[in-house]
Structure 1
Amino acid sequence: MSKGKVVLGVLAGVAVGGILGILFAPEKGSVTRKQIMDKGNDYADDFKSKYKDFADSVSEKFQSAKQEAQGLAENGKAKYDEIKKDAANAISNYKS
């Protein structure tokens, strides 16, 4: 199971538990609605923060993989050029 699904499941469980706890509390309706909105905003802010951290992590991994791929491509091209040069030298030596 991916980290994103686990985080989303935990946040959803916490949100449902908080809302149910508030709904069953003996408060006036207006107070309960305000509490629900406050908790909802808290959970939304927490979710946004976790999502941003996750997105940043994915972005960093992508950049790292991109740099590694560029390095591999450069090494491969250098090796190709070296082999091409060696082959040209071998052909020219063979013809001589």
Structure 2
Amino acid sequence: MGKESNTIIGILAGTAIGATLGILFAPDKGENTRNRIADEAILQKDRLANSAVEFRDRVSNGATDLRDRVASTVGAQKQTLDEQVDSIVTNASHKADDVITTLEKKLAELKAKNKKLQKTS
């Protein structure tokens, strides 16, 4: 934004300096000089208006691009987070199966020991 501000300031300063020098060194009639100053002022006003419109468009486009990039990044991070959650759930499910299998084996061993104890008693 600094570059655009400097451009606008430069245009305004150039207009003021040009108008002042034009008046000081004008060999022409006052009416002609005033007409040229008016024409130059209109020209500079139009240039400034065009610069402002271009600046607004650049800012608007930049904001749109930034919004799109942020949305894309957030979407990618959400997808990554969803994938991580799915992976954790899957791993937990496999771990739960392993724990259940181990508990079933221990239970079978305990039942077998219990039967031996009941036969000997």
- The one-letter code of the counterpart of 2:37 is I
Distance in 2 (alpha carbons) for counterparts of 1:21 and 1:47: 20
TM-score, normalised to structure 1's length?
0.86
> Are residue 82 (structure 1) and residue 83 (structure 2) matched?
yes
What is aligned with 1:21?
A: 21
- The one-letter code of the counterpart of 2:65 is S
What is aligned with 1:46?
A: 47
TM-score, normalised to structure 2's length?
0.70
Deviation per residue, 1:34-57 (Å, 9 max, x gap) = 222111100000111112112211
Once the two structures are TM-superposed, the CA of residue 18 in structure 1 deviates from its matched residue by: 1.8
Larger Rg: 2
What is aligned with 1:2?
A: 2
Q: Which runs of 5+ in 2 are unaligned?
A: 98-121
Deviation per residue, 1:32-87 (Å, 9 max, x gap) = 32222111100000111112112211222211111111111110111111111111
Contact 1:11 1:47 (8 Å CA) reproduced:
yes
Distance in 2 (alpha carbons) for counterparts of 1:72 and 1:20: 54
Q: Percent identity?
A: 21
Distance in 1 (alpha carbons) for counterparts of 2:8 and 2:60: 19
- The one-letter code of the counterpart of 1:94 is K
Give the aligned length: 96
- Stretches of 4+ moved more than 6 A in 1? none
RMSD: 1.7
